[in-house]
Structure formats: structure tokens, C-alpha cells
A and B are shown apart, each in its own frame.
Chain A
Amino acid sequence: MNNEWPIWEIFIRSKNGLEHRHCGSLHAADAEMAIQNARDVYTRRQEGVSIWVVESKEITASNPSKNGEMFEPAADKVYRHPTFYDLPDEIKHM
């Protein structure tokens, strides 16, 4: 019988005002335990003020073999960046 505790992905907000960031994984039987374990494993040096946990199997990831079609087309769309536009020097902040 496979009763191994599932893997959870842990996201920590290091301080208020910042986003949660992925910091690692751990095993836990349920979400409550995952939060407690994350607190003990990943915030024991004051690394966080908020924790999100999500079971790893719930995450859908993009397919790395499609990285070309997924991400490369954005490379030449320079007009999305402010530096694409020429403004006279007199205008300092825009």
C-alpha cells in the first residue's frame, strides 16, 4: 500500500509588500501539516511572514520542449518596452 505523504511546494512571503516566492518542497500528509512543516523547515531563520502551500501534483507546468514557440516569439516585440520610444531630452520623466 502506498501511503507516502505527498510532496508540497512551499511559497514564502519574506515580508509584507513582497510577493510569495517558491522556496522549496517538503512532505506532509495534509495541508495543515504542510503549513506547520513549512513553518519549521523554511522560516526558522525569520525568512517569512506568510506561507502558501500547494500539493505538487496540482501544479500544471508548461512543456519545456515547447519553449521555442512559447517564449521566443516575445523576444522581438521590443515595442513593449519603454526604451523603444524616442523622446526629446527635455522630457526627463515619462
Chain B
Amino acid sequence: MLQEKLYEYLLHLGDNSMILGQRLGELCGHGPELETDIALTNISLDLFGQVRNYFQAAAQIKGGDATEDTIAMLRYEHEYKNVYLVEQPNDDFAHVIVRQFFFDVYHQLLLNELIKSKNETLVAIAKKSIKEVDYHVDFSSTWVKRLGDGTEVSHEKMQTAVNTLWRYSMELFNATEVEQWAAESGVGPDLDALKPFYISRVEEVLHEATLTLPEETVFQYGAKTGRHSENMGYILVDFQYMQRAYPNMKW
């Protein structure tokens, strides 16, 4: 029972990194400069590295024929636990950066708590990941400032992206049953307690970037419990393609 919960919790952790990593992977070769392509690919690689750690741990719990790949690629859409935010498309570079920034700030707060987890595997993964994510926060924050306070055009594009994506931010802190279990059993953090830190950090950077949060936002919740946006099916079409078309093979 306990192991089952832990398994589900690992999916929560892994799925966010995985879907965001997948989105960043789509960009490789299509960015505004070679240097930015290289940087965003690095972030994608960091995220997939984390995914592999989480899902290798999950595969051990699940036992049988489970591997990191079956867990990553052979679930139905409603079984993925990632948030709406990370499945949002690469509409333009502003959306890419704002999506990254909104996730990175959360990710950093989360990992800083996970290094205190009662679960040793999570502590080990979090300790390794936190250094990567500290850099992600630096990277996306500087880009938020650069583009927010760049030209009129860039400011406008960034403000649009902030307005569009902010509605997906609070889902990060809306604990599911499994996340509540994690908080109560000392495996994961109390997400609600992280929220004020999140908002103040986001506001701080946006302020420097001459950007503002939208005044009234109707937040969207549901992806974490399996009710995804229309984007998700298309992500999985690509992501699962080979495993679905050629089942039970080694690659």
C-alpha cells in the first residue's frame, strides 16, 4: 500500500519533468540562436535525466517487466500526472521562457524540500537535481528580465505569455490525494506552504522584468488527476509512437 503511494508520487514528480523535457526537445534546431538551442537542450537533458531516476525507482517498486520506458511510454493519457503548465505548446519563445520560469521556480522550491524527505531515494535524486534546477532558475529568470525589459515588442509578447500561462500555475500547489499522503508521511512537502514563497519569487522577477501578473485569474486545475488539455494527446502520439507501433521490442 505504502509502496503503491510512493509509486504514484514518483509519477507526479517524473511526469512534469518528462513532458516539459519533451516540449523542449521539440524546439531543438528551431530556436532563435544556436546558443539558445544548446542551452534549452541542456535543460531538456537535465529533465530527462531526472525522469530516468524517478522511473527507475518506480520500476523497482512495480517489479515484473516494468522498466523506466514502460512507465514513461506505456500509460494511457489519464494516467499521466503532469500539470497543464508543462503541456502548453511552444507558441513562441516568450511562451517557452515563461513556461520554463513558472515551472523552474516551483521545481526549485519542491526539490529544496525533497532533499529533506524521509525517503532516501528521493533525497538522492533531489540532491543531484537541485543543482541543475538552480541553474534553470538562473537561466529562465535572466531571460524573463531580458525579454520583459527588452523592446516594446518583446515586452508585449512576454506579457501575453504571462497572462496566458499564469492560469496554470496554481495547479502546481493544489495537492492531489497522493501528494497529501506524501506531505503527511514526510515523503514530500506540504505544497500549500510553498505557495506564498512561489508567488513572491515570481513577482520579484516579473517586477524587475517590468511585467505584471494578471489581476484576475481563473486558475485551471485537473491535469494532475488525469484530465489533460487537448495538447496532451498529441504529445503522447509522438512520445509513445514507437512503443505503441512496435510493442515489446528492444531499442
Contact = CB atoms under 8 A, between A and B. Distances in A.
Direct contact, A vs B (beta carbon within 8 Å): yes
B139 A29 contact: no
B139 A37 contact: no
B117 to A, nearest CB: 28
Bin the interface of chain A by size: 10 to 19
Nearest to B37: A40
Bin the interface of chain B by size: 10 to 19
A41 interface: yes
A63 B240 CA distance: 59
Contacts, number: 26
B174 interface: no
Contacts of A40: 35, 38-39, 42
Given A5-B33, A27-B33, A37 B142 contact: no
B155 to A, nearest CB: 16
B227 interface: no
Contact of A28 (B35, B135, B138, B139): B35
B11 to A, nearest CB: 29
B146 A36 contact: no
A54 interface: no
Interface string A9-33: 0000000000000000011110011
